[in-house]
């Protein structure tokens, strides 16, 4: 009897785990042969490759195709290889692809994932509508003194690791960005720069650390979304720590804006104004006009926004800035040009790193853009079809609601069709007169369209200020253990990391 039940269970599991595998075959779309339950995503489920790695691998396997089929578990997805189709998804036909679909179960969303990055539909639209003004030029200038203070502190800390055999610049820049985010988001001196083992640095690391529990939870929610819809992707300690952190700040301010003009103040001001009201992106009246929807900025929603601001704010910026240092270490000719520009610009600004000074550092910006091309902090974009069906006119291909499309940014950035010598670090491809030759929708480090990164300018400014602070007084060079092409972390989910960090040798500059 037990044997019969086991056989029935296995057969049922097999049919469940293969029921969708004719989707791309019927539509004539090339794809790898899927495995039952795992689809073509086994390596990512096993933490042998990140989502970005899998997207890049799929992109490279089919160089003549505009799109390639993929199965994440049993769910069919479409990897996009054509810039015109990318433009259609991100901008032209955005109204059909406004969801990211990052929550495995659409109706049961865990508290911390109700944020501007993970949220979909009206929840996303209302949050985005109110948060966009927080990253205006005026707001950036108003908070730049925080960046200036942290950049000066970064120089002091860098002095302490000078002339060691090596130091992980990935960790150095993460401590800097964590400290900055702590002040501008929460008004808290997180002390991550002076104490690399600070509570907040540990919290930041845990957000992007993939432990066994996290890998299993993620895989189960994708493969069996209905069965595990109440299981949380995020570890319980993350939820608890973020809730305690935000509640302590709110209580300290008596639940009212404090005048610090930081991220918590912004949300408290939004709450004082009452419900966020706007036009629905999902629901329509009988006459076809959008329904009016509203959203209350309660404590749980504030905590979710603080979570993504804290996590994404330090992780993406520290990855981008440390990889820029890594490339400059291996290309001293470009490092010298960057340093000469920093010296020239800062001489006009009393040797102080200010908003206007950083805006003048065009060669540094070119180096930063080139680093983001070679190793974008977020190596892919994902969107989900939100209407019953959609036809790509370029392909005469119709896909159905809830099918996700994956845009492999890192693979496109390294495609020789779009970038000459794509594996060669060359900041001057972003110089005036040359950058105009870059085809639209093949350089997407911050995304594009209505769901592009809302904090892109803030992230770039803090990254460039940190780079200027380090390179003003120090030089970087490869250490004995440095690897020119660092290995990507296969456990990466949203942001890309490196196995073993980015060790470099840091020396004091000797100015002639």
Look at residue 190 in the predicted model and tell me its pLDDT.
58
Give the integer Cα–Cα distance in Å for 125 and 130: 9
Determine which of 1-10, 155-164, 427-436 has the lowest per-residue pLDDT on average: 1-10
3-state secondary structure of 164: coil
For residues 495-512, average pLDDT: 88
Question: pLDDT per residue over 215-273, tens digit each?
Answer: 777 777 777 777 777 777 777 888 888 888 888 888 888 888 888 777 888 888 888 88
Flag whether pLDDT at 192 surpasses 70: no
Token match 């502190």: residue? 153
| CATH, domain range 2-508 | 1.10.630.10
Structure tokens at 284: 């329509």
Average pLDDT of the chain to the nearest whole number: 89
Give the other-Cβ count within 10 Å of 447's Cβ.
17
Strand extents, DSSP E, 359-501 = 381-384, 389-392, 397-400, 404-407, 474-478
Question: pLDDT per residue over 37-73, tens digit each?
Answer: 999 999 998 889 999 999 999 999 999 999 999 999 9
Give the integer Cα–Cα distance in Å for 13 and 169: 47
pTM of the model: 0.90
Q: Is 453 annotated as a binding residue?
A: yes
Look at residue 434 in the predicted model and tell me its pLDDT.
85
Q: What's the sign of the alpha-carbon dihedral 505, 371, 457, 198? A: negative
Give the integer Cα–Cα distance in Å for 168 and 234: 27
Nearest partner of 370 among 310, 314, 325, judged by Cα: 325
Structure tokens at 132: 């966009």
Give the integer Cα–Cα distance in Å for 356 and 125: 32
Give the integer Cα–Cα distance in Å for 369 and 375: 10
Look at residue 79 in the predicted model and tell me its pLDDT.
98
Nearest partner of 494 among 111, 100, 223, judged by Cα: 100
Give the integer Cα–Cα distance in Å for 453 and 108: 25
Cα angle 214-219-221, degrees, rounded to a multiple of 5: 95
Query: Residue 198: what are its φ and ψ, rounded to 5°?
Result: -65, 155
Percent of the chain at pLDDT > 90 equals 54
The number of residues making up the chain comes to 512
Q: With both helix axes pointing from N to C terminus, report the angle between 169-186 and 236-252 in degrees, rounded to the nearest 10.
A: 40
157 close to 168: Cβ distance less than 8 angstroms: no
Nearest partner of 102 among 80, 85, 129, 120, judged by Cα: 120
463 close to 321: Cβ distance less than 8 angstroms: yes
* Ramachandran area for residue 23 (φ above 0: left; ψ -120 to 50: alpha; else beta): alpha
Determine which of 40-44, 50-54, 110-114, 442-446 has the lowest per-residue pLDDT on average: 110-114
Number of DSSP helices (H) and strands (E) in the chain, helices first: 18, 11
Token match 């195709």: residue? 65
Look at residue 193 in the predicted model and tell me its pLDDT.
47
Cα angle 146-170-512, degrees, rounded to a multiple of 5: 75
Structure tokens at 193: 């720069």
Token match 């895989």: residue? 219
């Amino acid at each position: 009897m037990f044997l019969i039940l086991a056989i029935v269970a296995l057969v049922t599991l097999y049919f469940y785990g293969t029921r969708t595998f004719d989707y791309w075959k019927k539509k004539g779309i090339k794809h790898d042969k899927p495995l039952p339950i795992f689809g073509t995503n086994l390596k990512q489920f096993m933490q042998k490759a990140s989502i970005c790695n899998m997207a890049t691998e799929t992109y490279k396997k089919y160089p003549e195709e505009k799109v390639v089929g993929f199965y994440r578990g049993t769910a069919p997805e479409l990897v996009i290889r054509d810039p015109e189709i990318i433009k259609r998804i991100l901008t032209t036909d955005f109204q059909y692809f406004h969801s990211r679909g990052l929550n495995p179960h659409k109706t049961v969303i865990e508290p911390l994932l109700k944020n501007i990055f993970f949220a979909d539909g009206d929840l996303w639209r209302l949050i985005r509508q109110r948060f966009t003004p927080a990253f205006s030029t005026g707001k950036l200038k108003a908070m730049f003194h925080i960046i200036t203070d942290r950049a000066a502190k970064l120089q002091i800390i860098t002095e302490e690791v000078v002339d060691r055999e090596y130091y992980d610049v990935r960790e150095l820049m993460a401590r800097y960005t964590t400290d900055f985010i702590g002040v501008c988001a929460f008004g808290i001196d997180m002390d991550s720069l002076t104490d690399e083992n600070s509570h907040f640095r540990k919290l930041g690391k845990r957000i992007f650390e993939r432990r066994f529990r996290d890998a299993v939870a993620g895989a189960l929610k994708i493969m069996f979304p209905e069965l595990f819809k109440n299981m949380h992707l995020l570890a319980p300690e993350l939820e608890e720590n973020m809730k305690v952190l935000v509640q302590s700040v709110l209580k300290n301010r008596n639940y009212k804006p404090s005048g610090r003009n930081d991220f918590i103040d912004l949300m408290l001001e939004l709450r004082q104004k009452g419900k966020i009201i706007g036009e629905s992106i999902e629901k329509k009246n009988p006459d076809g006009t959008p329904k009016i929807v509203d959203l209350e900025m309660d404590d749980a929603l504030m905590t979710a926004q603080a979570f993504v601001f804290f996590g994404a704010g330090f992780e993406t910026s520290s990855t981008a800035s440390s990889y820029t240092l890594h490339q400059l270490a291996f290309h001293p000719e470009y490092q010298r040009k960057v340093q000469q520009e920093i010296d020239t610009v800062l001489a006009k600004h009393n040797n102080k790193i200010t908003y206007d000074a950083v805006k003048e550092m065009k060669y540094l910006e070119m180096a930063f853009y080139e680093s983001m091309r070679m190793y974008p902090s977020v190596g892919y974009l994902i969107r989900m079809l939100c209407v019953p069906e959609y036809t790509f006119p370029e392909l005469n291909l119709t896909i159905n609601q809830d099918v996700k499309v994956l845009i492999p940014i890192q693979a496109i950035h390294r495609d020789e069709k779009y970038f000459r010598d794509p594996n060669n670090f060359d900041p001057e491809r972003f110089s005036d007169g040359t950058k105009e030759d870059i085809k639209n929708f093949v350089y997407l480090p911050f995304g594009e369209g209505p769901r592009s990164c809302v904090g892109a300018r803030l992230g770039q400014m803090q990254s460039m200020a940190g780079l200027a602070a380090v390179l003003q007084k120090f030089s970087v060079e490869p250490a004995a253990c440095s690897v020119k092409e660092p290995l990507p972390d296969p456990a990466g989910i949203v942001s890309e990391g490196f196995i073993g960090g980015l060790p470099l040798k840091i020396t004091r500059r000797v100015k002639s």
